[in-house]
Amino acid sequence: MTSSENPLLRTKNDHRLKAIPFPEIKTEHYLPAIQEALKTAREEIAALKANPAEPDFGNTILALELNAEQLDYVASIYFNLLSAESDAEFKALAQQISPLLAEFNSSVSTDPVIFARVKKVWEQEVANQPKPEVPEDYFDKKYLTKSERYRLVERVYKGFIRGGARLGEEDKAKLIQIAMEASQLSPKFSDNVLNATNAWELHVTDPRDVEGMPASVLAGAAHLAKVKGKDGGWLFNLQPSSMIPLLTYCRNRELRRQIQTAYSSRAYKDKFDNQDNIRRILELREQRAKLLGYKNHAEYVLEDRMAESLATATEFLEKIYAVAYPAAQKEVQEVLDFAHQTDGIYDFQPWDMSYYSNKLKEQRYAYDPEELRPWFKVENVLEGLFIVARKIYGISVKQVHDVPVWHPDVTTWEVFDRAGTYQGLMYMDLFPRETKRGGAWKTSFQGQGLFSDGMRRPQVAIVASLTPSTAEQPSLLRLDEVRTIFHEFGHALHSLLADGYYKGLSGTSVLWDFVELPSQIMENWLLEEEALNLFARHFQTGDPLPKELLDKVIAARNFQSGLANLNQLRYGMLDFAWHIVHPEDIDDVDAFEKRAVERFRVLPHIPGSNISCSFAHIFAGGYSAGYYSYKWAEALEADAWSLFQEKGIFNQEVADSFRKHILARGNAFHPMDLFVAFRGRKPDPDALLKRDGLLVTPA
């Protein structure tokens, strides 16, 4: 196959900056495209190394910034579809593609000739120069470009050191082998979780077994049963849109037990068991950390985060734990008492928690979250989200129908600023299918910034598994699903509103414990009356969301906030536990996990369950030794949001400042400097606890 015949290697010009020709791309195109793009990337690296000119920013740092554009393009398409739309044949390619990319990246970061050039530029432009301060205004693009240049040199130099550039040749070879093997294990782990999720179904035919479940949920389950060829009844699976309503509303304890147990034991002691993958991933991570001079993987990761050290991150989590744990204990006891009083439940189990928590919430606040669904038709939610974004940032989002997509469910949107200037392309892929992994995420096919052919705008995607429509009714979302869309759109805005020069510093290319700030702050508008009134309309009558219902939702916003915080702390501290232990000291994956999470336990352990074997965030994603980032960024977000609350949620001055200092700047400055530039001070350490009602400010 020639390059001109491979759609992944053929440039397609259009005003949306090379829209990807998804329908033309076949599985057999990927490996040849990767191999061809690797050849080009290596030739570029060879030319960089052979350049006789003295190293400078242009011929070294910028050359590295622009290296492997074609490779990045092909790889981004492959790995994005690996998560969003892939069959077994497509997934199998990862075992060939991943080590090829890992070997190339590691060979560059450990190359002594390239590092010598990078080091010389760093000595000239960073080592002996003062760190640029965040400017009062951003109209001086020349100043900004100079500041970004400083930051790019600093980040590239640090990246080479963290990539092993100062190691001896023998250790460099070990590091490359570690990277290649690790690159194969992550997709294996993810595949096992997806396969275990898809393998389980619950077919119910007796109407008595689904008593208590809302009609809209049963309609979706009946539709799924029909699609899967079942003979009537209702079909449930482990997708959140199916599992969560069953756990929340189904009166049948046995069915709740089955689905909770199945979800909690995915990829553990079954044919998709991830225990060996966990052990080997941890071994490789520790080997890399030790080679690079760190005590463990957690120390290696935290050194390049806002927190800067494991001690700082754990101290932050422990402070929340001291308040959240007793609050969570009290909240659980309230539910236990309620279950005993209402249904005589003495042997309370984890699969009872969602059911009785919802009943207690309904009694206490006189509303059921299911009541909100009619006001959250997915099309109305998107329209409302874009109206809210326009009021905040002055942008407009317009659907387009002539952009190729990877699946019929995918919609495409163009984003423009106040002046009508094109900001980027956004794909939205919102509903579950067996070829897509669970959860929700924002990803990029193209970043904003300088490419070899000039400046380009971003291409991003929001991927989720929300409640789908059926033949009988449209997609009506739960409140938490609407929150998911707002959250991921916040990530998308971080890329779409990026205004940097170098793509390596643009958009979400920030320190990992800062990246959740734009997404989490976007969630806040969802429960503001002023924002909801813009779009929450009943899908049949068009009536606005009743104020008395909204008031109940707002009144209940901190219901079980102790438990919510404790759950996130459990994940964060389990993550740290895995990444500070010596792998040879792990006697048993499940036994180790139980010890690590015991102090967070407020409900009995489910026999046969295991968190870690499906904990894809840390074993197949980018959050290893970084899951704490959700709480860290949430603390920043709570403090940032307080300024909107003080000045007005659509206050133009505050919104413009957040866009200018946070969304537009990416990684052009250290995130703490950017936060201070926006907020006028460093973060309030108690903002999160105050917002969640766990810390009462004295009168």
496-545: per-residue pLDDT in tens? 999 999 999 999 999 999 999 999 999 999 999 999 989 999 999 999 99
Cα–Cα distances in angstroms (integers) from residue 361 to residues 16, 69, 176, 506, in the given order: 47, 52, 53, 43
| 396-443 confidence digits (pLDDT tens) | 999 999 999 999 999 999 999 999 999 999 999 999 999 999 899 999
Give the model's pLDDT for residue 471: 84
Give the model's pLDDT for residue 14: 43
- In the annotation, is 488 catalytic? yes
The shares of helix, strand and coil residues in the chain, as percent rounded to the nearest 5, are: 60, 5, 35
Determine the longest span between alpha carbons in the chain, in angstroms: 83
Burial readout 577-605 (b: 16 or more C-beta within 10 A, e: otherwise) = bbbbbebeebeebbebbeebbeebebeee
- Interatomic CA distance for residues 648 and 637, integer angstroms: 16
Domain 3-193, architecture per CATH:
Orthogonal Bundle (1.10)
Give the model's pLDDT for residue 162: 97
Give the model's pLDDT for residue 300: 98
Name the helix (H) or strand (E) containing 688.
Answer: helix 687-691
Query: Are 3-193 and 374-555+630-691 equal in CATH topology?
Result: yes
Helices and strands of the chain, counted as H and E runs:
27, 9
Among 597, 655, 144, smallest CA distance to 390 is for: 655
- Interatomic CA distance for residues 497 and 503, integer angstroms: 13
Give the model's pLDDT for residue 137: 66
Q: Give every residue of the chain whose pLDDT is below 50, as ranges.
A: 12-16, 699
- Interatomic CA distance for residues 117 and 135, integer angstroms: 30
Fold of 374-555+630-691: Neurolysin; domain 3 (1.10.1370)
Q: Is the dihedral of CA 183, 505, 455, 127 positive or negative?
A: negative
Give the model's pLDDT for residue 666: 96
Q: Which of 36, 370, 488, 593 is catalytic?
A: 488
- Interatomic CA distance for residues 22 and 405, integer angstroms: 6
Task: Name the H helices within 140-274.
Answer: 141-162, 169-199, 215-227, 240-249, 253-264
- Interatomic CA distance for residues 162 and 393, integer angstroms: 37
- Interatomic CA distance for residues 144 and 450, integer angstroms: 14
Q: Which amino acid is at 382?
A: L
- Interatomic CA distance for residues 650 and 98, integer angstroms: 45
- Domain segments of the chain as ranges: 3-193, 200-264, 374-555+630-691
Task: State phi, psi for 178 to the nearest 5 degrees.
Answer: -60, -45
**Which two structure tokens, joined as six digits, stand for 514?**
């800062």
DSSP character at residue 377: B
**Which of helix, strand or coil describes residue 294?**
coil
Q: Which amino acid is at 657?
A: S
